[in-house]
Structure 1
Amino acid sequence: MPRLAIDSHYLTDQLKALLAIASPTGYTDTVVRHVAKELERLGLKVELTRRGAISALRQGSRRASARAVVSHLDTLGAQVKRLKENGRVELVPIGNWSARFAEGARAQVFSDKGIYRGTILPLKASGHTFNDEIDTLPIGWQYVELRIDALSRDERELAKLGIEVGDTVAIDPQPEFLDNGYIVSRHLDNKAGVAVMLAAIEAMEREGASTPVDIHWLFTIAEEVGVGAASILTPDVASMLAIDNGTTAPGQNSSEFGVTVAMADQTGPFDFHLTKKLVRLCVEEDIRYQKDVFRYYRSDSASAIEAGHDVRTALITFGVDASHGYERIHIHALRSLAELVTAYVTSPVEIERDRNLHAGLKGFTRQPNDEAKQDFSEDSEPAE
């Protein structure tokens, strides 16, 4: 089946709803409920792990050698590290992001006594007081603090508010959806990936699309801290496609338009055959694409492999400018990704051997080399 038409309005509506829900790693219950209800509305069977990762099954013609598509619900954030004598809060980051992007951010603190608003400020924030020192202060989390918008002139008053060490701090996304297709916001990593998956599912349900194998739609809750898809895969899943952000920065080949196919990240190359198949689908379905390699990057697929899952993995991305900062993407990339997802999950299974956890040499894949002279014999299969 060729790629399906994607409802861009549905995609952007879902992204807006996701961005409106705070979900830093460790504080994802609300966004899990939101996505689980939408998946059930679309007709999928939904199960949650103990901590809240989502697995939504869409049945295919068979269970063996099932496919999975994965993205993560959690975002960057911060935690309260210390209540300061001046009535402000010292922070530590959740996930890997720069305090440079935290300065000036509006935020909310989740305490046992309620939710408080606040602003992350440099220690020397007032030019009227510190003059040029506001521009010479070093960059780092030890040089910023959270000012709570409540009576908190000292450590005692902070404690009276119920704010405690370890409380979660969520950073406001401040999204803008522009008429020219650009979307600017924090936390597009990876709420845009979640919206892509929902849009692909919506298109499949709308068109009544069938798949050759079961499709597991997975939504993880701790990718930003390296856990990702470590514990959500089942043994019948033979291949997993991760959706996340690519970096449109100097020295990178990612783009804010079309699909960026990741060839490798810091954990090594992605599966040769699955990646080749995705590129071939882009060509056959006239989906714009480019390839890239990410040196300082990992995704849900890395955690799955490191956890010991014997599964083929690939990563497709939407190009993001200023990743883990105030990010920018384009709807063209999101729509292209959703189209590729529909083309992939409906495509035939080509490596039949993958239905078995262990098997003999017959049917094992072959990669081009001098010895093989690119002769794919009838007992081998070249692509997923």
Structure 2
Amino acid sequence: MNKPFGTTSKHVRIDVEYMVDFFKRLVEIPSPAGYTDQAVHFCGGELERLGVPFELTRRGAIRATLKGRTRGPARAIVAHLDTLGAMVKRLKENGRLELVPIGTWSSRFAEGARCTIFTDQRSFRGTILPLKASGHTFNEEVDTQPVAWDNVELRVDAVAYKAEDLRRHGFNVGDYVAVDPNPEISTSGYINSRYLDDKAGVAVMFAAIKAMVDAKLKPTVDTYMLFTIAEEIGVGASSVLHGNIAEMVTIDNGTVAPGQASRESGVTISMADSAGPFDYHLTRRLIQLCETHDIQYQRDAFRYYRSDSASALEAGNDIRTALICFGVDSSHGYERTHLNALRSLAELSCLYLQSDILFGRDAQELGPLTGFPTQDTEDAEADGTIADTATDPSGGA
């Protein structure tokens, strides 16, 4: 007789003050994809402080290890450190900079933004403006100019009236541009900021790590806490996984918008995104954990969205993947979520770390039919076949 599902997991206290403080410090560190070294050092320093061993890939993706009660099949939880940003495309003859975006985001959300430009020698401050920025000069044309990256330019806070002035200051094609995050946390618990995607997800992971360390709890199996550095440009978790990982849960934003079920509270569990459905069994295990432990959740599906899970699978990793989200309004713009969603995600992460493994046979990259799961059908549900297979910690192996 199988023990009731979820009895191996217990709630642990999430230090919300720590999570908020970590987020506020991390979000102020510029890290557009390709310029993430400083954020990597910051997170590495915090892992050292928490006593969690880790290693880096050549380019700086982080693989931290939480040793389990048994070795495997191993698990992973992943979030990404990189953000959106921009790069200098051209030094313009009017003394301003033409930009191209890093990642996929609309220039609508860049207009009027303060930013930092990193040259080879030093940094400068500046403002991203539409080409027709002055109503006193262009009158109603300021309201009719199309929205496109070709229609914005960066005004640097330096004496520069022509391209030669920019070169003299040290500006070059390829300089990175980081837009100010402008975080604000209200007394009602709302967090407004750029780059909640995915620095809020990273903060959730660190809050879960701290909670497990403080409670002196070990995960059921060896678990790798992964922090990728190029998710916004599609690379993500493609290079930080190894063959012993059988399950990977991604933490990222869920889109709060008309036609979507995501909310700024509780956990949003994505059933599918533009890369296809997430793993049937892993997704339903996370739903079971929410229901067993009274964590508010909602299901959603995203049509124009991809995550670290997609890059992991496209790189050829044969792993079960799932995506759990904090609901974000105005994703890839000036974003908003609520502390309730972040706390709920941290709680779910800790419960998942303690939960029984899905299927013992997943420890093998290739194995027999014995122990391979089945999926719910009306007949199987009626006779209880699926319940036994899905909750058996050994996977029937």
- Scaled by the length of structure 2, the TM-score of the pair is 0.95
Distance apart, 1:64 and its partner CA: 2.2
Give CA deviations for 1:150-182 in whole Å, capped at 9, x if unaligned.
011100000011110011000000110111100
CA–CA distance in 2 between the matches of 1:381 and 1:212? Answer: 19
Distance apart, 1:62 and its partner CA: 2.1
Structure 1 counterpart of 2:43:
35
Pairing 1:1-384 to 2, within 5 Å after superposition: 1-369=9-377, 372=380, 375=383, 377=385, 381-382=389-390
Question: Secondary structure of 1:70's partner?
Answer: strand
Contact 2:380 2:386 in 1 (8 A): no
Percent of pairs identical after alignment? 58
Distance apart, 1:369 and its partner CA: 2.3
What letter corresponds to residue 235 of structure 2 in structure 1? V
Give CA deviations for 1:119-177 in whole Å, capped at 9, x if unaligned.
00000000111111101111100000000000111000000111100110000001101
CA–CA distance in 2 between the matches of 1:252 and 1:289? Answer: 14
Distance apart, 1:349 and its partner CA: 1.3
Contact 1:125 1:134 in 2 (8 A): yes
| Equivalent residues, number | 384
CA–CA distance in 2 between the matches of 1:63 and 1:206? Answer: 21
Question: Secondary structure of 1:214's partner?
Answer: strand
CA–CA distance in 2 between the matches of 1:156 and 1:225? Answer: 32
What letter corresponds to residue 105 of structure 1 in structure 2? A
What letter corresponds to residue 140 of structure 1 in structure 2? A
Distance apart, 1:375 and its partner CA: 4.3
Contact 1:366 1:376 in 2 (8 A): no
Distance apart, 1:113 and its partner CA: 2.2
CA–CA distance in 2 between the matches of 1:139 and 1:312? Answer: 40
CA–CA distance in 1 between the matches of 2:342 and 2:381? Answer: 38
CA–CA distance in 1 between the matches of 2:30 and 2:50? Answer: 23
Question: Secondary structure of 2:63's partner?
Answer: strand
Contact 2:193 2:334 in 1 (8 A): yes
Contact 2:263 2:328 in 1 (8 A): yes
Contact 2:381 2:387 in 1 (8 A): no
Distance apart, 1:373 and its partner CA: 5.4
CA–CA distance in 1 between the matches of 2:221 and 2:28? Answer: 34
What letter corresponds to residue 52 of structure 2 in structure 1? L
Contact 2:73 2:244 in 1 (8 A): yes
Distance apart, 1:325 and its partner CA: 0.1
CA–CA distance in 2 between the matches of 1:206 and 1:99? Answer: 43
What letter corresponds to residue 292 of structure 2 in structure 1? E
Alignment RMSD, CA only?
A: 1.4
Q: Compare 50-59 and 349-358 and name the one that shifted more.
A: 349-358
Distance apart, 1:61 and its partner CA: 1.8
Over 6 Å off, 4+ runs: none
Contact 1:365 1:380 in 2 (8 A): no
Give CA deviations for 1:345-365 in whole Å, capped at 9, x if unaligned.
111113111111111011001
- Scaled by the length of structure 1, the TM-score of the pair is 0.98
Unaligned runs of 5+ in 1: none
CA–CA distance in 2 between the matches of 1:297 and 1:69? Answer: 19
Contact 1:24 1:74 in 2 (8 A): yes
CA–CA distance in 1 between the matches of 2:241 and 2:145? Answer: 46
CA–CA distance in 1 between the matches of 2:359 and 2:383? Answer: 17
